[in-house]
Amino acid sequence: MPESTDKPQHEPAAAAPKKAAGPKAADRRSADRKAAERRAAKKAKRQRRAQRGSGPTPQWYKYVMFGLMVVGLLWIITFYVTQGLFPFPELGNWNILAGFGIAIVGFLMTLRWRG
């Protein structure tokens, strides 16, 4: 059967009287505020990083990067050509690792190179 029109309508939830905010509500607001501050700080940090990262890499960075690659390669070649007498005979075969390590540092520098 259809409902009669003389029944009172329910009030919307927004019109209900509000309860006094307890300590849990204050903690929640404080946590929300801190989270918003953290998000704002992260956003500001990303913007600073983007501004700082713009533009080409300084000239000295390129020289160091390519220099390390060449020095590492020459280290390994020198070790092989001199049959272990140079660059440091006391390191033995660890000279190969040292040469590769120097060259790898140069290659890793290419990750930050902006033409």
The closest of 101, 99, 98 to 74, measured between CA atoms, is 99
13-17, 53-57, 78-82, 91-95: which has the minimum mean pLDDT? 13-17
Q: What pLDDT, on a 0 to 100 scale, did the predictor assign at position 30? A: 87
pLDDT at 112 over 90: yes
Q: How many CB atoms lie within 10 A of CB 62?
A: 15
C-alpha span between 51 and 42 (Å, rounded): 14
- The secondary structure element, H or E, covering residue 109 is helix 94-109
pLDDT at 97 over 60: yes
Do 82 and 76 touch, CB atoms closer than 8 A?
A: no
C-alpha span between 105 and 27 (Å, rounded): 49
Q: What pLDDT, on a 0 to 100 scale, did the predictor assign at position 96? A: 97
Angle between helices 94-109 and 59-81 (to 10 degrees): 160
Q: Which residue has the higher pLDDT, 39 or 51?
A: 39
- Tokens 């209900």 -> residue: 16
**Residue range 44-90, pLDDT digits in tens:** 888 887 776 678 999 999 999 999 999 999 999 999 999 999 999 99
14: confidence class by pLDDT, cuts 50, 70, 90: low
